[in-house]
Structure 1
Amino acid sequence: MITRLIYSQFACSRRCFSSKSTIFGLSSGAGKCGVAVIRVSGDASADVLRSKTKTKDLPIPRKVCLKGILHSKTAEMIDRGLVIWFPGPSSFTGEDSVEFHVHGGVAVVSAMYDSLGSVDGVRLAEPGEFTKRAFYAGKMDLTAVEGLADLIDAETEAQRKQALLQASGELSKLYNRIRSRLVKCIAHMEAYIDFAEDQDVGDDVLTEVKKDVGVLVADIQAHLHDHRRGERLRSGVRAVVIGAPNVGKSSFVNLLSNRKVSIVTDVAGTTRDIVESHHDIGGYPFILADTAGLRACTKDIVEKEGITKAKDYIELADLIILMVDSTHFQKNRFSNNIDQYIDDYLNTLGYDRSIFTKTRSIVIFNKTDLLPEETLKIVQTLPNIQCLSCHNHNGFEKVLKEVTKNLKFLCGNPNKENPHLSQQRHRYHLKQCVQNMEKFTQYLNEDCNPDMAIATQQLRSAIRNIGKITGSVETEEILDVIFSSFCIGK
C-alpha cells in the first residue's frame, strides 16, 4: 500500500509538472557552423511559430518546410530556413515544440535569441531543461537521461555504443524487470499476511518468495561484479608507463600521440610531473600517463617529488606498461631467465611482481634497433614481451594490438543482453537494494516468529532503491545534479 502511494504521488507530480513559461535554446553545437537548430518548447510554441513565419495555419506535424523567419519585434527577416512543428505529446519534451533550422552564423543566432527573448512568456532554457521536461513527461527515465548525456560526451566508438544502449532504455528494461520481480514478491507476501490464517495461502508461498528473493540477489550481484567495466569505458582506461630513467617512456608517449607531448632528452630525470595524453585506440578511451623515471639514487628534490607522484598514480592505474631498455637486457645476459630479469628490474624500481597481479600489464622492450641481429632474434622469442623501437617504429603495430586487447578486456563489449553498469550512483543503490533483500531473508531465517509486515517493508525499501536509479521515486537533489550537466539547448 505504501509503495503504491509513493508511485501514485510521483506519477501525479509528473503529470502536474508544467511550466507556464515556454523555453528556447540552441540545440546544435555552439560557434560558427553551417546550420544552427534552435528549439522552442511549451504552450506558446504555436504562437511563436505563427508570429515568426506570419502564417495562420500550422505546418503539417513533423514535416520540414522552408519559411522566411521574422523578428518578433521589428518584423524584419532574420533568415530563410527550415521549420518543423512537433505538437505534443509527440515531441521530445512531450510539449508543443518547434525547431528553427537557420544558418549558423553568430549574428543569425544572436538575432533569433533576441527575437524569441522579446516574446512574453518565452525565456532562455536552463541547462538540461528540455531533457528535464521530457523526463517529467514520461518520455525517458533517469538511466536514459544519463545515457543521453553520455552519448553527447562520447568520444570513442565503444563509448558511443554503451551510451546509445543506455539512452535507448536497455538499462532501464533490466532495472524494471528487477522491480517487477520485487513487486511480485511483495504481492505474495501481502497475500500470505492477509490470508494465511484462513488457510487460503499455504506456507509454500513464503518458501517460494524466499527462493525468488535469493535468485534476485544473485542476479544483481552478478550485475555488480562486472569489474567496473562500464564505468571504466565511460570515463576512460587509465594507463601508466613506468620504468627506469631514459628507457624511452616519453618517446613511447610521443609516438602514440603522434606529437611531442613529453620532453625527450638524453638527460636522466627529464620528466618530473605526470603528463597525461588522451587517445582513441580500437574505439576505446585510453588515458596514458608519462611519469618520472623510477630510481632510488637521486638528490634532486623536484625529481623525488615526481617519483612520489608516479608511484601514487600507479596505484590508481587500470593498465601498467613496463618499459625496459633492451640493450640493458643484452648487457646483463639474462636471456635464459626472463622472469628473473623482470623481477630484478622491478625491484630496482621499488616494486615486485605483485604490482602486475592487481591490474593488467604490458612489458615492452624498447630500443631494439640498437641490438645486434642475433640478440634481437632472441628477444623477439621471449614470452609475453613486446619488442619496440621508438626510433624507427618497428614493432609499434604489434604493441598497439596488445594495448587494444587489454582495453577490450578492461572495458568489455556493451550489448543489449548484458548492458553495462556505467554510473557510481547506480552501483550504490543496487548495493542498498541487495542489503534490503538480504535483511529480508535474514529476518525470516533467524526469527522464530517473524513479523511479516516488517520483513515485507525491506522488500519495499529494495523497490525504492531501484526507483531511485530510474527516477520512479522523485529525489530533487539527484535530478538537479543530473540535468545541470547538460548544455543549454538540451
Structure 2
Amino acid sequence: MNDTIFALSSGAPPAALAVVRISGPAAGSVLERLAGSLPQPRRASLRTLRVSRETVLDQALVLWFPGPATATGEDLAELHLHGGRAVVRAVESALADLGMAGEGGAALAIRAAQPGEFTRRAFANGRIDLAEAEGLADLLSSETELQRLAAIAMAGGAFSQQVSNWRDRVLSASAAIEAILDFSDEDDVAELPPHFRADLVALSGELESWLTRPRAEALREGLRVVLAGPPNAGKSTLFNALVEDEAAITAPLAGTTRDVLVRAVALDGVPFAFIDTAGLREGTQDAIEAIGVDRARGELAKADLVLWLGPEGEGPEGSWEIEAQADRDQHLRKAGPRHRLSAITGEGLDGLRRDLVRFGRSCLPRPGEVALNQRQGQLLSRARLALEGALCVTDLLLQAEELRSARVAFDSLIGRSTTEDMLDALFGRFCIGK
C-alpha cells in the first residue's frame, strides 16, 4: 500500500459541505501542493486550495493527521469543501492529475479509492480487526434501531475482546500440555493441572451459548413472515395492510397472486420481510399458477413465522391462525384464531402488529447484543468442535493439535489468518470513501 488514495467521504453533492479524504504516504505532499503548507496536526485551518497561482479550486477547511495514529494507520488529510457538484468534481480532477516525487526521485501515484479501501487499510495497519470491520459494514447498512445497536457493539470491539479472552484461555491450556511434553522428566510438570478439564468444559459451554444466539442475518434481512392459505383467503389484502401499501393486486378472482411478493418493513424498530404467496391448492390446470404454488411451498419451508389464513388446523406447525375478513362478508370462520382481523374496518390489525413485534424481539438479538454472522458462527462452531475433540482424547499430542485448531479458528474470527477472497468480499460491501 505505497500509493495514496482519495475519495469523497461524505454524501453525494449538492450539500452544505463535502469531505474529501486523502490517505497514504504522499498525503502530506498532496495537501502542501493544494493548500500551500501543512496546517498544525489535528487542527482545522482555513485555506485557499489552488492548482496554480491563477486557478483557485475552493476556500476550504483542511485537516492534517500524521500517521500512524489515524483512522487508516497512514498519513491522512481531509478537505472540507463547499458541497457543490462542480467544486467536488474540480478537486477530484486536480487530485487525480497530481504527480508527486518521493524519496530518491521515485514517482508516488495518487489515485481514486476503491470501495472499502480506507477501511481495508485500517484493517491491514492494525487499527481495527476483522470482526470490527464486519460490524462497521453492518453499521453503514443498518436501517433499524436494533441493527444499529448490534452493529455498534460489533464495531466497538465487544466481540473481539471476547474472542481474545477465549484464545488466551486455550493458549493457557496448550501451554500446560506443552510443559508436560517438553519437560516430562521433571516431576513437578508430569500431570495436567486439576482444573484443566473443567476449564475446557466451561469454555465449550460458553461457545455453545453464543452459538444458540439469534444470528445477524435475521437482524439484517428481517424475520421472514409468510402469509399462506388457499386462494381468495385475503392474503394479499392483509399483506397490503401490513406493509401499508397497495403492493399486491387484490381481486375476487381466485388465483390472482401468481408469484412470491416480498416487502421489507420495520415495525417499532423490528425488521420484518413480509411475503405474499400464491394460494395453496391442488390440481390447478394453470401452469403459471402451479409454479406460483410450488414457490409458495418453498417460502413456507424458509419462513420464521407463517400467518395461516386457511382452514383451522391445516397450516404448518407453529403457524398463527388468522381469521381475516377481506372485502366480503362471507369469510372463513375459525373457532380459536390467534387474531381476528378486518381489512374493511382495520379491526385487529394493531393487535397483530404488536404481537409480531413481541415475537420479533424474542427471536432477534437484544438491543446492543452482539449478533454473529454466518462466517463467525461457522468458525465458532469449529472452535467448539475442536474443544470437544480435546476433551474426548487422552493422548497429549492429539489434545495439543485440537487446541491448536481452536486457536486457528479464533484467529480467523478476528482476521489474524484469513484469505484475500474473503477480504475482497467484505470490503466490497463498503461505499467508496469509507
Normalised TM-score (structure 1)? 0.81
| 1:460 equivalenced with 2:404 (yes/no) | yes
Q: How many residues align?
A: 425
Listed one character per residue, the Cα deviations across residues 425-459 of structure 1 (whole Å, up to 9, x for unaligned) are 11111122122222222221xxxxx3x23431221
- The secondary structure found in structure 2 opposite 1:388 is strand
- Give the corresponding residue for 1:437: 387
- The secondary structure found in structure 1 opposite 2:188 is coil
How far 1:370 moved relative to its partner?
A: 6.5
- Give the corresponding residue for 1:138: 126
- Give the corresponding residue for 2:325: 367
Normalised TM-score (structure 2)? 0.91
- The secondary structure found in structure 2 opposite 1:272 is coil
- Give the corresponding residue for 2:415: 471
* Equivalent residue in structure 2 for 1:216, among 197, 203, 214: 203
- Give the corresponding residue for 2:4: 22
- The secondary structure found in structure 1 opposite 2:322 is strand
In structure 2, C-alpha distance between the alignment counterparts of 1:68 and 1:384, rounded to whole Å: 70
- Give the corresponding residue for 2:312: 342
Listed one character per residue, the Cα deviations across residues 273-306 of structure 1 (whole Å, up to 9, x for unaligned) are 0011111112122111111111225322211211
Moved more, 195-204 or 84-93: 195-204
Contact 2:6 2:111 in 1 (8 A): yes
- Structure 2: state its 5+ residue gaps: 100-108
Listed one character per residue, the Cα deviations across residues 382-411 of structure 1 (whole Å, up to 9, x for unaligned) are 755212211221222111101111111121
In structure 1, C-alpha distance between the alignment counterparts of 2:302 and 2:418, rounded to whole Å: 35
- The secondary structure found in structure 1 opposite 2:189 is coil
- The secondary structure found in structure 2 opposite 1:342 is coil
| 1:410 equivalenced with 2:392 (yes/no) | no
In structure 2, C-alpha distance between the alignment counterparts of 1:394 and 1:264, rounded to whole Å: 19
In structure 2, C-alpha distance between the alignment counterparts of 1:368 and 1:153, rounded to whole Å: 36
How far 1:420 moved relative to its partner?
A: 2.0
1:237 is aligned with what amino acid? L
Contact 2:225 2:306 in 1 (8 A): yes
In structure 2, C-alpha distance between the alignment counterparts of 1:399 and 1:356, rounded to whole Å: 19
- Give the corresponding residue for 1:157: 145
- The secondary structure found in structure 2 opposite 1:232 is helix
- 1:64-83 counterparts in 2 under 5 A? 64-70=44-50, 72=51, 76-83=55-62
Q: CA distance change for structure 1 residues 369 and 117 in 2, over 3 Å: closer, same or farther?
A: closer
| 1:395 equivalenced with 2:348 (yes/no) | yes
- The secondary structure found in structure 1 opposite 2:379 is helix
Contact 1:81 1:103 in 2 (8 A): yes
Q: CA distance change for structure 1 residues 369 and 262 in 2, over 3 Å: closer, same or farther?
A: closer
Contact 1:468 1:475 in 2 (8 A): no
- Give the corresponding residue for 2:136: 148
| 1:49 equivalenced with 2:35 (yes/no) | no
Contact 2:131 2:155 in 1 (8 A): yes
- 1:316-327 counterparts in 2 under 5 A? 316-323=302-309
In structure 2, C-alpha distance between the alignment counterparts of 1:489 and 1:268, rounded to whole Å: 51
Q: Which has the higher helix share?
A: 1
- Structure 1: state its 5+ residue gaps: 1-18, 325-340, 445-449
| 1:105 equivalenced with 2:47 (yes/no) | no
* Equivalent residue in structure 1 for 2:162, among 174, 180, 189: 174
In structure 2, C-alpha distance between the alignment counterparts of 1:65 and 1:465, rounded to whole Å: 47
How far 1:74 moved relative to its partner?
A: 7.3
- The secondary structure found in structure 2 opposite 1:109 is helix
How far 1:140 moved relative to its partner?
A: 0.7
RMSD, aligned CA: 2.3
- Give the corresponding residue for 1:266: 252
Contact 1:117 1:124 in 2 (8 A): yes
Contact 1:229 1:410 in 2 (8 A): no
Contact 1:243 1:293 in 2 (8 A): yes
How far 1:75 moved relative to its partner?
A: 5.3
1:470 is aligned with what amino acid? I
- Give the corresponding residue for 1:356: 317
Contact 2:234 2:326 in 1 (8 A): no
- The secondary structure found in structure 2 opposite 1:112 is helix
- Give the corresponding residue for 1:9: none
- The secondary structure found in structure 1 opposite 2:251 is coil
- Give the corresponding residue for 1:129: 117
- The secondary structure found in structure 1 opposite 2:413 is helix
- 1:377-396 counterparts in 2 under 5 A? 385-396=338-349
- Give the corresponding residue for 2:264: 278
Q: CA distance change for structure 1 residues 369 and 124 in 2, over 3 Å: closer, same or farther?
A: closer
1:135 is aligned with what amino acid? F
How far 1:21 moved relative to its partner?
A: 0.9
| 1:61 equivalenced with 2:41 (yes/no) | yes
Contact 2:4 2:26 in 1 (8 A): yes
- Give the corresponding residue for 1:331: none
| 1:36 equivalenced with 2:23 (yes/no) | no
- 1:475-490 counterparts in 2 under 5 A? 475-490=419-434
1:141 is aligned with what amino acid? D
